[in-house]
Amino acid sequence: MSEIHNYDVLIVGAGFAGVHQLLNVRKLGLTVKILEAGHGLAGTWYWNRYPGKDVYHKHCLCVPVLTLQCQFSDPEIWQGWTFTEKYPDGREIQAYFQYVDKKFDISRDVLFNSRVVSAHWDDSADRWNLTTEDGEVFRGQFLSLCTGIGSKYYIPEFKGLNTFKGEMHHTARWPETHDYKGKRIGVIGTGATGVQVIQEIAPVVAHLNLTGLHFDINPKLMFDATPEERTLFFEEHWEKGGFHFWMGSYADLLLNPKANNEAYAFWRKKSYYEVYSQPNVRLVDVNKTAIEEITPKGLKTSDGVEHELDVLILATGFDMDGIPIKEKWADGVQSYLGVASATYPNMFWIYGPQSPSSFSNGPSTIMSSELTSDWIIQCIKHMKENNISSIVPTEEAQHAYSELVDQPGAAALWSEAKTSWYMGKNIEGKKAQMLQFSGGIPAYAKLCNDSAAAGYRGFHLKVPA
């Protein structure tokens, strides 16, 4: 039997959230270990190395993180680092993590190449027992899952997928070096990731087949403005970049299909669609000619056409339901405050299901990730100071919060998307529901802080006899 390694806090994942947790657990004087599947720091910035992956394009509405929000808020860290550009690429983010590692010796408390395969709660001892792929066993009072929303990548079960003779890469497992110049490329998926890949590689490939924050919302309804006013409004918010065009738009943008279509009509005229006018780019609309199967030479669509490819890129998204409570969530995800789940004591997660996650800037300094991380740290501190051995949400509080998350998701236009991973619709057989808190960071912060201020209302706290 393997030796059991004991710690106060076990963290899974060494990205922004995991490193933030580590630094602050150290300040509490507790023992801590990060278990990381990769062989380096940076989390999603370590795994997602595909071309175009940056914080990058200010008009890519899906990844609009400013450099201010892509670094830690600790002055001891940011005062010694300056990014070379407003929207740095993945390589510079990795260099930033190396700088943080050198400054605080993060790696001494990280076990790399260690994928967690099981986590079990021992109720008699109020401890979590984790086992890694290579058989190592770790025990800790607290378990912090800093795996984010993009740790479990998704590949649809295309017929013939394993017969393709060319290169095939999912964007979440992109090779460290790759030359795609002059090759025939097929990209399945035109979501956030697909958009970035397409814009980066289109100018240099031989042929490209495509399938596939706190803002002030304008209280005005879109069609209460004249067409001229709308155009000026859109241009102003487009130039601001980031989420401004989306989250700072007219009040009915996400509620009125006609208003949504009006904004989309403006957006599609911008830079992304210039790619489609290139002679080496062809868009295949899978709503009209679906992917029938992957062949040894490429992919075949329902109109009988075989599209020959050298490289197949899978920008097919993620499955947010990759943690061991999958069976419990078979009928839908439920949590309390998007940070914990009933019947799983002392288990927290950051930037995961029913948190603001993709409706906020991911590795944000003062927004989603650090806000939640700080809340967890203060919770652990409170428990240690008051001899509380475990904390777990009540079923009642969890149900009420989950309904709070579901309601705007059902009311707004997100529910109309056919394959959105925001709603879990990209996974066959999965319940369609809003997987992220869409009420904004201020509202989310108030919910979390109000619970803590009321002695962690909505949680059951266990004090040993």
Q: What is the pLDDT of residues 355-401, one digit of tens each?
A: 988 777 655 444 568 899 999 999 999 999 999 999 999 999 999 99
What is the rounded distance in angstroms from the CA atom of residue 90 to the CA atom of residue 96?
A: 10
Residues in the chain: 465
Contact 180, 47 (CB under 8 A): no
| pTM (predicted TM-score) | 0.76
Q: What is the DSSP letter of 177?
A: S
Helical ranges in 420-459 per DSSP H: 441-453
Return residue ranges of the chain for CATH 3.50.50.60.
4-152+319-462, 161-214+253-314
In the block, tokens 């060494």 appear at 14
- For 60, the token pair is 């890519």
Q: What pLDDT, on the 0 to 100 scale, is given for residue 318?
A: 57
Fold of 4-152+319-462: FAD/NAD(P)-binding domain (3.50.50)
What is the second-level CATH architecture of the domain 161-214+253-314?
3-Layer(bba) Sandwich (3.50)
Q: How far is CA 132 from CA 3, 21, 135, 139, 426, in A?
A: 12, 20, 5, 12, 29
Contact 94, 46 (CB under 8 A): yes
Q: What is the tens place of the pLDDT at every residue in 125-160?
A: 999 999 999 999 999 999 999 998 777 788 888 899
What is the rounded distance in angstroms from the CA atom of residue 198 to the CA atom of residue 202?
A: 6
Averaged pLDDT, 407-427: 74
Cα dihedral 437/118/370/321 (nearest 10): -20
What confidence category does residue 47 fall into, taking pLDDT thresholds of 50, 70 and 90? confident
pLDDT at 123 > cutoff 50:
yes
What is the rounded distance in angstroms from the CA atom of residue 299 to the CA atom of residue 186?
A: 8
Q: Which residue has the higher pLDDT, 10 or 175?
A: 10
Q: How far is CA 327 from CA 12, 334, 396, in A?
A: 20, 12, 20
Averaged pLDDT, 224-249: 84
